[in-house]
């Protein structure tokens, strides 16, 4: 009985993330999780688009109206960036899974490449989208 | 060995009931498989969406219902829905500790991913069948 009580005694807790200095790899790790979390709920927007297309012209017109508004476009831009950032960040994790790229300088370089690459590719998608839409009519 | 199980049990026994002894790395491995598959599928999906921007409903139905595009979109949705389920489960077990809240969140995660994934796949199949 004494031993059972001992095992339920308050244990010291290890310090949580708030005590650490905010370094770039630390922020990137958080970013990967946050973008994944946002993309999760944003997937409902993709489902809405596909279901509306399957439902018919009037349902599809509603989706098209929403994605044509400024808020809709901002949501699409943000979602595209989160998706590309999470994808490149995932590639980074896959490289790490092979045991490569784990030196301090490499981690730093990969973090910068992820941020820079995701912004450049998102802008590229935005520009191509603008052109596809006929110059934003 | 002083523990609250029978003295006939060897030390790992008390730990044995807290998790499966068969699939410890399976979730980790599936997360990797779905992320590898997700890369080309995500690129393809973004290209499909951009190509369809601003097109009218008839064009959308024609393109999304064509076999190659439909297959890519279905693979994308299935891969991502499974990837999302694993990822959110990881977040839930990290942050949600109350026994009721944790199971509600885990159930909700399963329901959300299933509904969003299956509804999307149904929509693409319906477009493909031309009904």
Angle at A128 between CA A61 and CA B51, to 5 degrees: 45
Residues of chain A found within 8 Å of residue B32, distances taken between Cβ atoms:
94, 97
Local structure of residue B45 (DSSP, 8 states) = H
pLDDT score, position B14 = 63
CB B27, CB B86: distance < 8 Å:
yes
Interface contact flag, A87 B88, Cβ < 8 Å: no
Helices A24-55 and A57-68 pack at an angle, to 10 degrees, of: 150
pLDDT score, position B28 = 92
Residues of chain B found within 8 Å of residue A89, distances taken between Cβ atoms:
none
Q: B79-100 burial by CB neighbour count: b if 16+ within 10 A, else e? A: bbbbbbbbbbbebbeeeeeeee
Looking at the partner chain, which of A47, A97, A128 has a beta carbon nearest the beta carbon of B120? A47
**pLDDT one-digit tens code per residue, A62-89:** 999 999 999 999 999 999 999 999 999 9
- Residue of chain A nearest B82, judged by CA positions: A40
Looking at the partner chain, which of B43, B54, B57 has a beta carbon nearest the beta carbon of A132? B54
Mean pLDDT score, A38-47: 97
% of chain A at pLDDT higher than 70: 92
Rounded to the nearest integer, the mean pLDDT of chain B is 89
- Residue of chain A nearest B118, judged by CA positions: A47
ipTM score here? 0.86
Looking at the partner chain, which of B36, B58, B120 has a beta carbon nearest the beta carbon of A46? B120
Which pTM value belongs to this model? 0.85
pLDDT score, position B1 = 44
Greater confidence, B11 or A113? A113
């Amino acid at each position: 009985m004494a031993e059972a009580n001992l095992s339920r005694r308050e244990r010291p807790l290890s310090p949580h993330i708030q005590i650490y200095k905010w370094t770039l790899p630390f922020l990137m790790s958080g970013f990967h999780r946050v973008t994944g979390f946002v993309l999760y709920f944003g997937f409902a927007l993709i489902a809405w688009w596909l279901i509306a297309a399957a439902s018919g012209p009037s349902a599809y017109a509603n989706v098209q109206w929403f994605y044509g508004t400024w808020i809709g476009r901002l949501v699409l831009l943000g979602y595209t960036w989160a998706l590309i950032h999470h994808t490149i960040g995932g590639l980074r994790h896959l490289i790490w899974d092979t045991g490569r790229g784990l030196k301090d300088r490499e981690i730093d370089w990969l973090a910068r490449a992820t941020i820079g690459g995701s912004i450049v590719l998102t802008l590229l998608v935005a520009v191509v989208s603008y052109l596809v839409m006929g110059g934003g009519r | 060995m002083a523990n609250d199980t029978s003295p006939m049990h060897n030390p790992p026994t008390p730990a044995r009931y807290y998790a499966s002894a068969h699939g410890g790395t399976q979730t980790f491995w599936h997360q990797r498989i779905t992320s590898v598959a997700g890369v080309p599928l995500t690129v393809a999906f973004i290209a499909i969406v951009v190509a369809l921007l601003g097109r009218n409903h008839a064009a959308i139905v024609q393109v999304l219902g064509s076999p190659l595009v439909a297959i890519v979109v279905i693979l994308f949705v299935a891969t991502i829905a499974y990837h999302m389920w694993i990822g959110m489960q990881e977040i839930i077990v990290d942050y949600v500790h109350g026994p009721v809240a944790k199971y509600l969140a885990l159930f909700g995660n399963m329901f959300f991913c299933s509904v969003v994934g299956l509804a999307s796949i149904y929509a693409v199949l319906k477009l493909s069948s031309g009904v």
